[in-house]
Structure 1
Amino acid sequence: MTPSGEFRVTHRHHMLPQRACHPGSGLAGSPLSARGGFCLELLLEPKHPEIDHVRDIDEVVRRRKAAITEWVKHRHCFTAGWTAGTARGCRVWKPRSLRLNFEFNLECYDQELTGRLEALVWSNRRRETAMYRTLLVPLDGSRFAEQALALAWSIARRAGARLQLVRVHTPQIYVEGMALLADTLDQRDREQELAYLQGVEQRIAALGSVAVGSALLDGAVADAVQEHAASCGADLVVMTTHGRGPLSRFWLGSVADQLVRKLAVPMLLVRPEESPPELGQEPRWQHILIPLDGSDTAEQILEPALALGRLLAARFTLVRVVPPLVNLDSAAAQSASGTSQPVLAQLQAVQDQQQAEARAYLERQAERLRSQSFQVQAQMLAESQVPAAILEAAAAQQADLIALETRGRRGLGRLLFGSVADKLVRGSTWPILVCGPRESGGSSH
């Protein structure tokens, strides 16, 4: 049975009296033992203990200790002690949980400490989660844009990643000759926008588990977000797209549209919902559909999609659509009026070969992923309308997310705007994970 990878992290803390620090910490007589301190305890427990367990406890502790120690030093905090083991300190009593204890001086106690420690403990739970270390969420001050926060928070918590919130300041246009008033109003707008970002940041920090920061940017919105994504090392951009249902013509030229064209990192486009999940709730995304076309370029979506699916404990469906060469039923009807039967037979043979090759290609990809413990199924579709066929497959398979490259077999230096990728992004009612290829490709397997 495939591990789900879903764990819950709980924490509690208690104050340490003077000279009551951990006996093995070597702090006897130190300033910390004289001042007292506090102990933070983190407990990792699998949500599905029948199939999950915390593996290699010593290795997890060894990896995390270095990261946490470095962070503590950066904070000018002095760590008093480190202990790890299963509940009650007995590994045979509860082998599927991991308990970590940290002792710190009083000056270190704040909400950020708890959240950052939880994030650091989570960050190497699985090697696959290392792809997502920083998630960027563009906001514009509306509740509409904030619908991306619940999913971004969930992904960041599971991956041990940091959330970076951004908003782009756009100066208002005022009547000529009102420069002084314009400057005053612009400063007021900036203060309000900063206060908004800080408020959202505080809401996320209050949940714990995820480290969060924010920045107010200047410039053209898409350019500013793109530059900040590069400067902060964002691995994933999560944002809400406008409009319920399929995107309208207003998608053209929108910020999301521009970012899909420009960003070199994956972008998760979240569709607004009538009843969106509250911040702190866990979205239940269990099925990811991945369209492929047989090219190396299209396969570049697999890495970010698999990393996301691992975090969400999702299963996958690989889809390839092979348009028919000709409507053979119609051609057969015309054969009575003189169409060559050998030509029809040859077309049928070529078409059968193409479909067989597509099935074999999908099965090779599926087997490769199954060998990595992913739950994968493959589906070849013989349809003339490729985008419509993919969307129908997503509906029939009850997919929760579609993941695709923005360029495929014919992606020679340009986004396939008006092509399969664009029609899927514009016509889908599902959330979409998109990513432009990092280098040109096009060889068929």
Structure 2
Amino acid sequence: MSTTAVGDVALAPVHHGFWTRDRRIGLGLLVFGVLAAALFGALATGELARFTLSEDAAGAALEINGTVGAILFGLIGAAAGAALLVGVPRRWFALLIGIGVVGFVLSFLCWQVSAAPAGQNFMPLVNIVRNTFLLALPLIFGALAGVLCERSGVVNVAIEGQLLMGAFAGALFGSLTGSVWVGLVAAAIGGAFISLLLAVFSIRYLVDQVVMGIVLNLLAVGLTGFLYERLMQTDAATYNQPPHFGNWSVPLLSEIPVIGPAIFQSNIFLYLALVLVLVIHFALFRTRWGLRTRSVGEHPTAADTLGVRVLRLRYRNVLLAGMVAGIGGASYTLALYTFSKNMIGGKGFIALAALIFGRWSPTGALLAALFFGFADQLGTYLSAINSVIPSDFLAMLPYLATILAVAGLVGRVRAPAADGKPYIKG
């Protein structure tokens, strides 16, 4: 409760209420933690749940009795929720949410791993971490594209189309030239092409940015699908056999247990994604360009009066965002697969959710993308150990995690004030 005043006149106290967002989330974590301890603890077996530090069952491992682990981690998650419910300083909010979520997940895994058939009751941490990063790659690039656009005041719903066009252009030109580097440049240009249309119609002609983004996604699906059927499907050897980047091992860092082989023995896209997160974060919050970008996204009129060319900066950042997303699309076709119709499969929209979950911050977007990537990988792992959970539900995990994260954990967040609002120079 607080008291407001206008001039020298005190007004009535303002009641903020006991059930703040922090306490509501704390109650939720408390309930889920208790349920995890009770339910998963009852379902788990007395077998060991083994979390190996290698890619298979051999070698060192972190081991815990399945029942004990399910109960213990469930109670840890409940304790984190109880701390939020009682009330803690705001600086502990994110940490306690993390502890609560991790506690619930570990409780669940202790049940699943210990109950797996003999010979499968282990979780290879190296594979889990490696595949989490690989599955998160398009999300990281897409979310960074969203940061660049929306910090400039342009809503980027077209991430899906930018990723798809990048994947197609990378596969096509990589196949025609036999060069991964030409394919990578073509992918960036393909993503920038979708961004150019977004910029022209939303900045120049003031078309609704959300509607324009949806239209561009449909355009990318239709255009790449048409060219796939006319070119790639009829002559795959010429048009859809792109070369792939190999894995590069980083000396010394690749020797770190679990993290080393999972992250530092990977392809160029993972290294590029991590570097881009650092570069964009530094540039956004530590450089003149970043200050101008944030001012254009918050108060374009004020920025204009100080000499910032608002429309030019928006054009430039939207095109840059398209290039970043296009490279993210190439992480499919120049590292793992050949091109197939609509192969992005909604990842652009999950990247948009990662942007919101990460609160329009490059580092926050990275963590959110890894969260969704882990949910995706978890479904694959549980299917491999013949989990009792239905496979259709496991396929829903990344999308369910997206909904819960944005609706439940983020709560009320504020986008840049001018996000989605066209600017007309006076």
TM-score range, shorter-chain basis?
under 0.3
Q: Normalized per residue, which structure has more helix? A: 2
Length-normalised TM-score, structure 2: 0.23
| Larger relative contact order (CA 8 Å, sep ≥ 6) | 2
Task: Please identify the structure whose Cα radius of gyration is greater.
Answer: 1
Q: Normalized per residue, which structure has more strand? A: 1
Length-normalised TM-score, structure 1: 0.22
